[in-house]
Structure 1
Amino acid sequence: MSKEVFDELLGKVGPLITKVDTHLRMSIGPAERLAICLRYLATGDSYATIAFSYRVGRSTVAVIVKEVAGAIWTALVEECMPVPQVEDWRAIAAGFQERWEFPNCVGAIDGKHVVIQAPANAGSLYFNYKSTHSLVLLAVVDAEYLFRVVDVGGFGRSSDSGSLRNSAFGESLRDGSLQLPPDTVIAGSERRGPLPHVFVGDEAFPLLDNLLRPFPGRHLTRERRLFNYRLSRARLVVECAFGILSTQWRMLRRVITTSPEVTELCVKAACVLHNFLRRKTIDMPSRTPIARSTDEVTPTLCDAPRMGSNNATRQSIQQRETFCSYFNEEGAVRWQANVV
Structure 2
Amino acid sequence: MEPDKYLILKEALEATRHAIIEEADEEVIIDPAGYNNYLRLNKSQFELLLRLIQPQIERSSTLMRETTSAAEKLALTLRFLATGESFISLNYQSRLSTSFICRTIPEVCEAIYGKLKESFLQVPSNALEWELISKDFAIKWQFPNCLGALDGKHINFRVSRTQGAFYHNYKGTNSIILLALVDAHCRFLFVDVGTNGRANDAGVLQRSPLKQILENEESLPRDSAVGRRRNLPYVVVADDAFPLQRHIMKPYPYHTNNKKKQIYNLRLSRARHVVEHAFGILCNRFRVFLTTMNVKVETVEKITLACIVLHNFLLQADHNYINSYTSNSSTTLSTASDGPYNPRKGEAERIRQDFTEYFCEEGKLDWVNQKLN
Q: Kindly indicate whether structure 1 or structure 2 has the higher relative contact order, using CA contacts under 8 Å at least 6 residues apart.
A: 1
1:60 aligns with 2:68: no
Q: Which amino acid aligns with 1:266?
A: I
Aligned positions of 1:252-291 closer than 5 A? 252-282=289-319
Report whether the alignment pairs 1:91 with 2:129. no
How far apart, in 1, do the equivalents of 2:138 and 2:345 lie? Answer: 26
Question: Pick from 219, 228, 244: which aligns with 1:207?
Answer: 244
Q: Secondary structure at the match of 2:232?
A: coil
Per-residue displacement from partner, 1:197-241 (whole Å, max 9, x unpaired)? 110000101001100000113124110110001000100000010
Structure with bigger gyration radius: 2
The reply on whether 1:245 has 2:285 as its aligned counterpart is no
Which residue does the alignment assign to 2:37? Answer: none
Q: Which amino acid aligns with 1:137?
A: L
CA distance in 2, matches of 1:250, 1:75: 22
In 2, the alpha carbon distance for the partners of 1:212 and 1:178 equals 20
How many angstroms apart in 2 are the aligned matches of 1:198 and 1:123?
A: 39
Residue 149 (structure 1) aligned to one of 171, 190, 201:
190
SS at match of 1:144: coil
Compared CA separation, residues 283 and 179, structure 1 to 2 (3 A): farther
User: Residue 149 of structure 2 aligns to a residue in which SS?
Assistant: strand
Write out aligned runs for 1:6-21 (5 A): 6-21=46-61
Task: Give the C-alpha shift of residue 16 in structure 1.
Answer: 1.5
**Greater displacement, 257-266 / 74-83:** 74-83
Q: CA deviation at 1:140?
A: 0.5
Structure-to-structure mapping, 1:166-185, within 5 angstroms: 166-173=207-214, 175-176=215-216, 179-185=219-225
Cα distance, 1:177 vs structure 2: 5.9
Structure 1 residue 322 and structure 2 residue 363: aligned?
no
Structure 1 Cα separation of the partners of residues 313 and 81 of structure 2 = 15
8 Å CA contact 1:208–1:312 kept in 2: the answer is no
TM-score (norm 2): 0.80
Indicate the SS of the match to 1:339. helix
Instruction: Name which of structure 1's ranges 10-19 and 274-283 shifts more when overlaid on structure 2.
Output: 274-283
What corresponds to 2:273 in structure 1? 236
1:41 is aligned to 81
Give the counterpart letter for 1:191 in structure 2. R
- In angstroms, what is the RMSD of aligned CA positions? 1.7
Letter of the aligned partner of 2:243 in structure 1? P
CA deviation string 1:61-119 (max 9, x = no partner) = 01110100000000100111123122321111111011100001010000011111123
Map residues 47-196 of structure 1 onto 2, 5 A cutoff.
47-86=87-126, 87-173=128-214, 175-176=215-216, 179-186=219-226, 189-192=227-230, 194-196=231-233
Letter in 2 for 1:315: E
Tell me how far apart the structure 2 counterparts of residues 80 and 178 of structure 1 sit (CA, whole Å).
Answer: 24
* Other-structure match for 1:303: none
Q: Distance in 1 between matches of 2:218 and 2:49?
A: 30
The answer on 1:31 being equivalent to 2:63 is no
Amino acid at match of 1:328: C
Contact 2:256 2:262 in 1 (8 A): no
Change in Cα spacing, 1:177 to 1:117, as seen in structure 2 (3 Å) is farther
Q: Which is richer in helix?
A: 2
Conserved in 1, the CA contact under 8 Å of 2:246 and 2:347? yes
| Residues 159 and 296, structure 2, Cα contact 8 Å, conserved in 1 | no
SS in 2 for 1:136: strand
Counterpart Cα distance in 1 of 2:124 and 2:297: 27
Equivalent position SS for 2:229? helix
Corresponding position of 1:305:
none
3-state SS of the aligned residue for 1:107?
strand
Q: Kindly indicate whether the alpha-carbon contact (under 8 Å) linking 2:146 and 2:236 is maintained by their aligned counterparts in 1.
A: yes
1:333 maps to amino acid: L
Displacement over 4 Å in runs of 4+: none
- Name the counterpart of 1:300: none
Aligned-residue offset at 1:312? 6.4
Q: Would you say the 8 A contact 1:119–1:260 is kept in 2?
A: no
Query: Which runs of no fewer than 5 residues in structure 2 stay unpaired?
Result: 1-40, 322-342
The alignment partner of 1:137 has SS state of strand
Q: CA deviation at 1:163?
A: 1.2
Residues 240 and 251, structure 2, Cα contact 8 Å, conserved in 1: yes
Report the equivalent of 2:366: 334
